[in-house]
Structure 1
Amino acid sequence: MADQHAELTWTEDQVPVSDRFDDPYYSLQNGQEETRHVFLAGNGLPERFAPGFHIAELGFGTGLNLLTVWSEWERSGQTGPLRFTSFEAFPMATDDMRRALGAFPELHPWSSRFLAHWTGRACNLETLQCEVIIGDARNSLPQWAGMANAWFLDGFSPAKNPELWGTELMQQVAAHTATDGTAATYTAAGFVRRGLQDAGFTVTRTSGYGRKRHMTRALKA
């Protein structure tokens, strides 16, 4: 069965918006700074980087989170590969990814290398081992054998994409998180925080990015 690709509309500022979920792929203010604030700082990165570090993600989107964290991985002096696994139900076409990432010229040294080796499901380079698992994460995550040191929970808004934020999926996130692993997300929705807490995380609400007053950080002891 062929993958169902993302269907997009582009704003005047060239931000891709999902037609299916009526939600932009990243902050209309500054997508890369949102990634740094929510997913990097929210998971204590790059301070926690270590050989073999493994990040998992719900919602690959444009690849912006991956490229931002990979750039920091290389800048930090790591020479082995960053391991990155993402779960994506509706992958973006490569040409659309290229167009979206063109808005971040500072990432060009990483986006150009990534796109040159991107198969649509994986990208393996000396400092990056990336796999995107296509399909509904509610089905694919329970079958995954990996354990993540950090999670980027980056599905579309819980109000518009609730299936990616349910209690059972949060339990699977916890089951695939290493001891002392973390998770971070831009949303502070009560049912998401409760789902993470019920799954065994210690959950903290902290200051969000831009117009979002709060975000969520979680720690698995």
Structure 2
Amino acid sequence: MQDQQAELEWRDGDVPVSTRFDDPYFSLENGLAETRHVFLGGNDLPARFRDGFHVAELGFGTGLNFLTALQAWRAADVSGTFHFTSFEAFPMDPDQIARALSVFPDLPVEALGLSDGGPFGDTTRGSDYTLRVMIGDARATLPQWDSQADAWFLDGFSPAKNPELWEESLMRQVGQHTAPGGTAATYTAAGFVRRGLQAAGFEVDRVPGYGRKRHMTRARKT
């Protein structure tokens, strides 16, 4: 199914940390609150939700961002279907995902289909959503993607430790796969990331980050 598995260790009980990139999969402080602040708030969600709304993501990780977005979609009581596509090079084992998400009991974890091997491979479909996780280096898989996103969650590991997922050529692909008026958000405010998004056709703003992170980045396709 996949060539390379995630390499991780556990800290503070059930917080997974990538040993390959020496970076946690979500905030050690409050991963759920950070996801809501950065990726939902940073993309003006749930206000923009509509039937067929499509979120794309760099870095699926534990699936926390998808589940948080799906929960917000359902809470907003939007009719129709929510679409989510994620690009992941080093997928976690379903048992590892289940352990990581056990600290968020209110999320709709069943949407990941972990008991059936997780959302890796074919598109996972529910009554109100579709989820597709494309396995492999995003620099190779994103150019092959035949859709456009209304919003991007840019959630790779730290740019200092995983620069490949933030390079300008990949941000250009993000821009090309963004619908007119679409948005992107990320926890990082690194200058080269912001410049890459600008070169890809986005209007970029640096705004307050979550917790101890002073700034994050919001972008809108012009």
Of all paired residues, the percent bearing the same amino acid is 62
- 8 Å Cα contact 1:14-1:103 kept in structure 2: yes
Specify the alignment match of 1:62 in structure 2.
62
Deviations 1:79-105, CA, capped at 9 Å, x for gaps: 322100000000011000000000101
Specify the alignment match of 1:172 in structure 2.
173
Specify the alignment match of 1:111 in structure 2.
109
CA distance in structure 1 between the partners assigned to 2:31 and 2:164 by the alignment: 23
Other structure's SS at 2:84 match: strand
- 8 Å Cα contact 2:119-2:132 kept in structure 1: no
Number of residue equivalences: 219
CA distance in structure 2 between the partners assigned to 1:113 and 1:60 by the alignment: 14
- Equivalent positions of 1:14-163 (< 5 A) are 14-107=14-107, 110-115=108-113, 116=115, 118-121=118-121, 122-163=123-164
The verdict on how the C-alpha distance between 1:197 and 1:113 changes in structure 2, with shifts beyond 3 A counting, is closer
- 8 Å Cα contact 2:120-2:134 kept in structure 1: no
CA distance in structure 1 between the partners assigned to 2:94 and 2:160 by the alignment: 28
The amino acid of 1:95's aligned partner reads: D
CA distance in structure 2 between the partners assigned to 1:63 and 1:113 by the alignment: 10
Which segments of 5 or more consecutive residues in structure 1 lack a partner in the other structure? none
- 8 Å Cα contact 1:174-1:220 kept in structure 2: yes
- 8 Å Cα contact 2:120-2:135 kept in structure 1: no
The amino acid of 1:136's aligned partner reads: D
TM-score, scaled to structure 1 = 0.96
The amino acid of 1:89's aligned partner reads: A
CA distance in structure 2 between the partners assigned to 1:36 and 1:145 by the alignment: 28
Deviations 1:168-211, CA, capped at 9 Å, x for gaps: 00000000000000000000000000000011100000000011
The amino acid of 2:212's aligned partner reads: R
- The Cα shift of 1:3 comes to 2.3
CA distance in structure 1 between the partners assigned to 2:167 and 2:73 by the alignment: 31
- The Cα shift of 1:106 comes to 1.7
Deviations 1:134-187, CA, capped at 9 Å, x for gaps: 000001111111100000000000000000000000000000000000000000
CA distance in structure 1 between the partners assigned to 2:199 and 2:162 by the alignment: 20
- 8 Å Cα contact 2:119-2:133 kept in structure 1: no
Deviations 1:94-124, CA, capped at 9 Å, x for gaps: 00000000010121xx103433563423421
CA distance in structure 2 between the partners assigned to 1:19 and 1:196 by the alignment: 28
TM-score, scaled to structure 2 = 0.96
CA distance in structure 2 between the partners assigned to 1:12 and 1:114 by the alignment: 24
